[in-house]
Amino acid sequence: MYPQNEMQWVSALSTRPSLEAAIAEVTQQAKRSLEGPADLGLVFISSAFGSEYSRLMPLLQEALRVPAIVGCGAGGTIGTNRNGETEEVEGDAALSLSLARLPGVEVKTFHISTGEMPDLDSPQDTWVDMLGVPANSQPQFILLADPFSAKINDLLQGLDYAYPGSPKVGGLAGTDGGMRGGALFCDYQLYREGTVGVALSGNVVLDTIVAQGCRPIGRPYRVTEGDRNILLKLEEETDDKGNLGAGQSPLDALRELVQTLNEEDKELAQHSLFVGVVSDEFKLTLEPGDFLIRNLLGVDPKVGAIAIGDRVRPGQRIQFHLRDARTSAEDLETLLSRYSRANSYRGNAGALMFSCMGRGEGLYGEPNFDSRLFGRYFNNIPLSGFFCNGEIGPVGGSTFLHGYTSVFGICRQNS
């Protein structure tokens, strides 16, 4: 039994191919497990149901009485199945529903249309007025965005400016397989563009774990010349004091580095090479989690330049990274272990998992890997979520859109 003043989360998952049957299963399972009325619902529906997205909210509203609900279409769904096990469903029809009882928490849902977003040079109050959530309430955000229309990087930058220090997690919705983008749901309405989300204020904390699944190779470099997202010249940090060696083109630096790798890593570098941008320029000793991992987009052999999936500026530090299943598993386990040592819950918490569609069974060769690893450390915390087209989570105090990442948001009481 949960005392009425304690938070409670429940998770339910159905793989029934009929939408009506799936809704009946998840709502009955969730309501049976929740002790008291729900204050918030989160729903994730697989793209296998894409042609029926418009039917979800009317059917769900008939079966469920929750004052606030958000959700989206998904590349795959995550939740607790009828056997009480957390399951990741990729490719097949599935519906995931979480319900939360949140005493002492103010719940504010919202839909942000791309056309109503303020300019990035707008004052803080403009962003606050758009959401109707006071900045001094220290809200915690869950964000679900359309991959094509949301201008998500501008939104994240604006929300970080308006709500500094407020954690923000979420993901880009999966598409329905047709010409349209993803489906977004907010308070029983269907939206085809923009961003939906929920702000939680009061007796609530949203802890975040961002597992980017890469390991550094070689030594860090400092950018001495760059243009937009193009690295033009690097200098190697030759010792622990940060002294700089001779400058060279990024492509030459990469070629030299690859020659020092073993055969297995040389093979990985052909298809799983990334660039990590140091998130905290004042930190001298770098560890996993100190980098913002970005794609390596291309090279220009004539000038030795390398293009990456982010803007660069002189003075930034970067380091080349590799990704494989073993590295991703070790990275996530390190982060979960570190978090578990610092936190312990009796079960009055809930967790959301936003995982890239490039992870899952395709990466690990087996199902349920990330969720099972989470459960090894937190088997008393219900977990739900979805496979995304991009994952939202903080690194180094700022919020970013990631790829090939698993982002966890653990929602617990503040006291």
Helix (H) and strand (E) counts for the chain?
9, 26
Digits of tens for pLDDT over the chain (415 positions)?
666 788 999 999 999 999 999 999 999 999 999 988 999 999 999 999 999 999 999 999 999 989 999 999 999 999 999 999 999 999 899 999 999 999 999 999 999 998 889 998 899 999 999 999 999 999 999 999 998 887 899 999 999 999 999 999 999 998 655 445 579 999 999 999 999 999 999 999 999 999 998 889 988 999 998 889 999 999 887 544 444 444 789 999 999 999 999 999 999 899 889 999 987 777 777 766 678 999 999 999 988 999 998 888 898 999 999 999 999 999 999 999 999 988 766 568 999 999 999 899 999 999 999 999 999 999 889 999 999 999 999 998 899 999 899 999 999 998 6
> How confident is the model at residue 179, as a pLDDT?
45
> How confident is the model at residue 150, as a pLDDT?
74
Residue with tokens 């070689």: 218
**Residues 41 and 66 sit within 8 Å (Cβ to Cβ):** yes
Residue with tokens 């997205």: 53
> How confident is the model at residue 396, as a pLDDT?
83
**DSSP secondary structure code for residue 175 in this structure:** B
User: Is the C-alpha dihedral spanning 293, 167, 359, 283 positive or negative?
Assistant: positive
Contacts of 199 (CB under 8 A, 6+ apart): 106, 107, 108, 110, 131, 133, 139, 140, 141
Give the SS3 label for residue 97.
strand
**Tokens standing for 139?**
């809200």
**Residues 247 and 224 sit within 8 Å (Cβ to Cβ):** yes
Give the SS3 label for residue 22.
helix
**Residues 289 and 208 sit within 8 Å (Cβ to Cβ):** no
**pTM of the predicted model, to two decimals?**
0.91
Contacts of 370 (CB under 8 A, 6+ apart): 88, 211, 332, 353, 355, 359, 360, 406
Residue with tokens 């509203």: 61
Beta bridge partners of 87: 79
Give the SS3 label for residue 172.
strand
Distance CA 107, CA 200 (A): 5
DSSP assignment of 344-383, as one string?
--SS-EEEEEEEETTSHHHHHSSTTHHHHHHHHH-TTS-E
The CA dihedral of 70, 76, 82, 87, to the nearest 10 degrees, is -120
E strand intervals along 189-344 = 189-191, 195-202, 205-211, 215-216, 221-227, 230-237, 244-248, 273-278, 291-300, 305-308, 317-322
Contacts of 389 (CB under 8 A, 6+ apart): 75, 147, 171, 172, 173, 174, 175, 182, 357
**Residues 100 and 9 sit within 8 Å (Cβ to Cβ):** yes
> How confident is the model at residue 346, as a pLDDT?
58
